[in-house]
Copies of this chain bind each other. A is one copy, B any other.
Amino acid sequence: MARIALDAMGGDNAPDETVAGAVDAAARGVDVVLVGVPELLEAELARHGTRLPIVDAPEVIGMGEDPARALREKPAASINVAAKLVEEGNAEGMVSAGSTGAAMAAAAIHIGRLRGVRPSIASIFPTPGSPTLVLDSGANPDVGPEQLVQFAIMGSVAAEILLGVAEPRVGLLNIGEERGKGRDLEKAAYDLLEQAPINFVGNLEGRDVAEDKSDVIVTDGFTGNIFLKTMEGAAQVMIRYSMEAISTLDPEVQESVLPALGEVRRRLDYETYGGAQLLGVKGVVVIAHGMSSRVAIANALEMAAEGAKHDLPGRLASRLAS
């Protein structure tokens, strides 16, 4: 079983939820190593009455710090130490709920990029029917059409391995369905995507999230970030409106309805998938939401183990080279 290093100090709920998530993942068979301040992690593990391997990382990077600078100045920060474990072959993957910028920088410095590739963040979005990978979801705000093709290839491989989809359908996020729509970027990318070794299904619009039209959605990191965060915000609006509407009903009816609303919320929940994949580096790197709970951390660790088991980085490298 592949060993996964957890940046146990990263995230809003570290180390209590990170350690709890690691305990759950270990119970499900994931070989986890905790990276962080040993006394704190030991104390958390004691509460669960269990043991997990710990690697000492005394320094912590705060959310407000400049990632690149903090990484240089704090070599013993948990994110650096976790990435070094992957670099040195002592772990095959890592998970962090800390700063996305810090995780990306640590991965680039220690684990290294695949040759000629711009690493990209692939988020899993729970669209109806089947989940969809969206990339890039924030790593590269400005890209060219060639990068979108790389994202498409990487997304296809990741969807095969992580979502278990054969010949994943890849769509280009655009402002209309017809060929020729969009900016110069989309017009050029459309032609290249048709030639690429993927199952390209054409342009997709923002409203197509309601339909099961693709397994992978490709876009630049600016648009991808807006796309994902808008869905997050829209879901919050809907939940709030629903709560307000329900509060006007009879108390008895409210009681029967609230579990149904909870079910809607659960179906929209990012925690099911635990995190986003950093694709294009020579190791499995899962970046979990900063607010990750125990459940999200456990699922992120399991997904990292799945990626490592199927050699996601190696398969990305060979597909990009072909």
Residues of chain A whose beta carbon lies under 8 Å from any beta carbon of chain B: 127-128, 138, 141-142, 173, 175, 182-184, 205-210, 221-223, 225-238, 240-242, 245-246, 248-250, 253, 256-257, 260-261, 263-264, 267-268
Contact A225 B141 (CB under 8 A): no
Contact A138 B175 (CB under 8 A): yes
Task: Give me the 5 closest cross-chain CB pairs, A-B, nearest first.
Answer: A206-B229, A234-B234, A206-B230, A245-B260, A207-B233
Residue of B nearest to A128 (CB): B237
In the assembly, how many copies of this chain are there? 2
Q: List 7 A-B contacts (CB under 8 A).
A: A142-B183, A182-B222, A205-B233, A206-B227, A206-B228, A226-B230, A234-B238
**Residue in contact with A208 in the complex, picked from B173, B227, B231, B233, CB distance below 8 Å:** B233
CA distance A307 to B245 in the complex (A): 33
Contact B240 A234 (CB under 8 A): no
Residue of B nearest to A230 (CB): B206
Closest Cβ of chain B: how far from A230's Cβ, in Å?
4
Residues of B with C-beta under 8 A to A205? 226, 229, 233
**Residue in contact with A231 in the complex, picked from B127, B234, B246, CB distance below 8 Å:** B234
Residue of B nearest to A173 (CB): B226
Query: Known contacts A245-B263, A263-B245: does B223 contact A206 (CB below 8 Å)?
Result: no
Contact A233 B209 (CB under 8 A): yes
CA distance A228 to B231 in the complex (A): 10
Residues of B with C-beta under 8 A to A253? 253, 256-257
CA distance A208 to B233 in the complex (A): 6
Residues of B with C-beta under 8 A to A221? 175
Residue of B nearest to A242 (CB): B264
Contact B127 A237 (CB under 8 A): yes
CA distance A141 to B187 in the complex (A): 12
Closest Cβ of chain B: how far from A258's Cβ, in Å?
11
Query: Known contacts A210-B236, A238-B268: does B222 contact A245 (CB below 8 Å)?
Result: no
Contact B242 A242 (CB under 8 A): yes
CA distance A237 to B207 in the complex (A): 10
Contact A230 B207 (CB under 8 A): yes
**Residue in contact with A257 in the complex, picked from B127, B232, B249, CB distance below 8 Å:** B249
CA distance A263 to B221 in the complex (A): 35
Closest Cβ of chain B: how far from A43's Cβ, in Å?
34
Contact B226 A234 (CB under 8 A): no
**Residue in contact with A234 in the complex, picked from B182, B209, B264, B267, CB distance below 8 Å:** B209
Residues of B with C-beta under 8 A to A184? 142
Contact A209 B225 (CB under 8 A): no
Residues of B with C-beta under 8 A to A227? 206, 226, 230
Residues of B with C-beta under 8 A to A207? 229-230, 232-233, 236
Contact A237 B210 (CB under 8 A): yes
Contact A209 B228 (CB under 8 A): no
Contact A260 B248 (CB under 8 A): yes
Residues of B with C-beta under 8 A to A268? 237-238, 241
